[in-house]
Chains A and B, each alone.
Chain A
Amino acid sequence: MVENRPFVTVFSHLTLIVGIGIVCLPLWIAFVASTHDVSRMFQSPAPFWPGTHLVENYLAVLRSGIGQSANAPVGTMLINSLIMALVIAIGKISISIVSAYAIVYFRFPFRMGFFWIIFVTLMLPVEVRIMPTYEVVAGLGMIDTYAGLTIPLIASATATFLFRQFFLTVPDELAEAARIDGAGPLRFFRDILLPLSKTNIAALFVIQFIYGWNQYLWPLLVSTKESYYTVVMGISRMVNVVDAAPTWNLVMATAVLGLVPPVIVVLVMQRWFVKGLVESEK
């Protein structure tokens, strides 16, 4: 604040409040719809204030989906989403941190070649090579498995780069001191480098957890059995029902359940998340 202009300050607050209103409106409408019974969903327009069926609706979708064909219980879908998000986040961080360590701290033949192999994957997002990747995974018999859902998405150039950048800023003296004290490469990695990387790991975890949770196209192809549905892809099957209008109150309850976990992760880990986002894109 450079000078005191009450009018401008009030205007700033008003703009922010209106902006937040617009940003939060879709979530509010969805939440409100999820607290009404199905008969209310046939009156136009949809309600703007909460109703009384909150617990009932959420329990219903968690236990038995939305009661139409081809729908797993949302509880199962949430567990699948959680497995997918955690395996992708932890897997990406683990394989990236060790490969960045190898590239920065060792001299060996074809070091740059490996670096470029990893680098090129930046240019091949899964959406672009979706059909051939699907065929490869199908050929390996990984359709309808957790391995098929997660492993193809685990390789990540971004995470490897972030760790590489970070390792390059770690003072050389640390490695020298460790060597003089007789620590081998694995010991140095475990006792010195890993503790130093904690904030970076936390930041990456938030971003990769969201990435894994929000995958849509990939599970749409790989999960053909209901027991492997994730919540984000499952909901689109509920919206696009062929013969009837969707039961909006239950669909919205599912939507809220599907977006709350990643939102909580972002809000709880806000500080690391912002840092991770700003640094990983540099």
Chain B
Amino acid sequence: MIKRATFGGVALPYALLLPQIAITLIFFFWPAGEALFQAVHVQDALGLKTRFVWFENFERVFSDGYYLASLRITAVFTLASCLLAMGFALLLAVMADRVIRGAGAYKTLLIWPYAVAPALAGVLWGFMFNPTIGVVAHALDAVGIKWNYYVDGDQALFLVTIAAAWKYVSYSFIFFLAGLQSIPRSVIEAAAIDGAGPTKRFWTIVFPLLSPTTFFLLVLNLVHLFFESFGIVHALTQGGPGRATEILVFRVWSDGYRGQDYGGSAAQSVVLMAIVIALTVIQFRYVERKVHY
């Protein structure tokens, strides 16, 4: 944790730490404290007086049917797009690990979506699936599927899910490929000599050896999808139609910014912080102790 050879002096280390600590206190701890404060208070209509109300805001949040629906939507959305992205990425990584010719080009062509902003991913997919002129929407109409994500909530949720999955394929792909390349060739060769074909080798050797990577990616993708999908939802559906794609992060913003319900929004922020803390603990407890091979 600390070096054997350290430098003396007390003023210098404090000066070096000052910028980071100052920014952290002003822009992290102050707002977080504010959120905790607002979460247990209500403001009157003019915003002049605040009253301490214990857990009333939380009760209000959790007794709101829309909030519970939003929890369910968030769970469906994050899990579905996480599994979709990881499945697709694993397939491509296994294939890219096999091929010799063109491996570099394939890799380059698969990692670029990492750099695309979630909001832009939403715009690109929204254009392809636009009910009026979208290419894919047109193809779907041709095979008899009535496509209009502006009115059909399930279709909107589906579109948000695949747009998010698309954005996270490259991230998982990079980690899966790195994981695959760290599996010793000798193990695979031994299995091949014993007569195991590619499919059998994948399920009995490669996939189990890859499980630490898979678990780690599962946790991280869930965290990313949970928090970074605001842009996708905001650019693509604005939480609609109705409230069909209103994920939790979107709700914090729309209740606080559009609805001016600071207490409710802050209570939701506190709930979200609890979720992040839980996920971070899981990440550090279980991901740190990766299975080593």
Contacts and interface: CB of A to CB of B under 8 A. Distances in A.
Contacts of B59: none
A86 interface: no
Given A26-B166, A132-B31, A133-B31, A12 B98 contact: yes
B41 to A, nearest CB: 12
Contacts of A151: 23, 27
A34 to B, nearest CB: 10
A118 B228 CA distance: 21
Contacts of B174: 274, 277-278
A106 B269 contact: no
A274 B117 contact: no
A263 B89 CA distance: 19
B135 A46 contact: yes
Interface in B238-259: 238, 249, 252-253, 256-257
A30 B24 contact: no
A106 B6 contact: yes
B88 interface: yes
A95 B95 contact: no
Interface in A230-248: 232-233, 235-236, 239-240, 245, 248
B24 to A, nearest CB: 5
Contacts of B231: 214, 216-217, 232
Nearest to A135: B34
A79 interface: no
A281 B80 CA distance: 23
Contacts of B125: 26
Contacts of B116: 214, 259, 262-263
Given A23-B109, A216-B118, A9 B31 contact: no
A5 interface: yes
Contact of B265 (A41, A127, A131): A131
A168 to B, nearest CB: 8
Nearest to A159: B20
A204 interface: no
Contact of A16 (B13, B99, B227): B99
A20 B110 contact: yes
A255 B269 CA distance: 31
Interface stretch (A57-65, A195-203, A265-273): A265-273
Given A23-B113, A259-B115, A29 B3 contact: no
**A114, A132, A235: residue with the most chain B Cβ atoms closer than 10 Å:** A132
Interface in B68-88: 88
Nearest to B185: A2
B124 A46 contact: no
A175 B276 contact: no
Interface string A17-56: 0011001111101100100000001111110100000000
Given A29-B124, A248-B133, A185 B9 contact: yes
Determine chain B's interface SS by DSSP, over half rule: helix
Nearest to A48: B135
Interface string A113-136: 010011011111101111111111
A172 interface: yes
Given A127-B227, A217-B231, A152 B135 contact: no
Contact of A107 (B2, B19, B117, B123): B2
B114 A118 contact: no
A94 B23 CA distance: 13
B111 A131 contact: no
A164 to B, nearest CB: 9
Interface in A81-105: 94-96, 98-99, 101-105
B189 interface: yes
Contact of B256 (A130, A252, A273): A130
Contacts of A41: 133
A128 B134 contact: no
Contact of B273 (A129, A248, A263): A129
Contacts of B92: 15-16, 19
29 contacts: A13-B95, A16-B92, A16-B106, A25-B128, A27-B124, A29-B135, A101-B16, A104-B2, A125-B227, A129-B35, A131-B257, A136-B26, A152-B27, A155-B27, A155-B28, A175-B6, A214-B115, A214-B118, A216-B117, A216-B230, A217-B234, A232-B119, A235-B119, A251-B123, A266-B111, A270-B108, A270-B111, A273-B111, A278-B178
Interface of B: 1-7, 9-10, 12-14, 16-17, 19-21, 23-32, 34-35, 38, 88, 91-92, 95-96, 98-100, 102, 106, 108-121, 123-128, 130, 132-135, 137-139, 166, 169-171, 174-175, 178, 185, 188-189, 192, 198, 201, 216, 220, 227-228, 230-231, 234-235, 238, 249, 252-253, 256-257, 262, 265-266, 269, 272-273, 276-277, 280
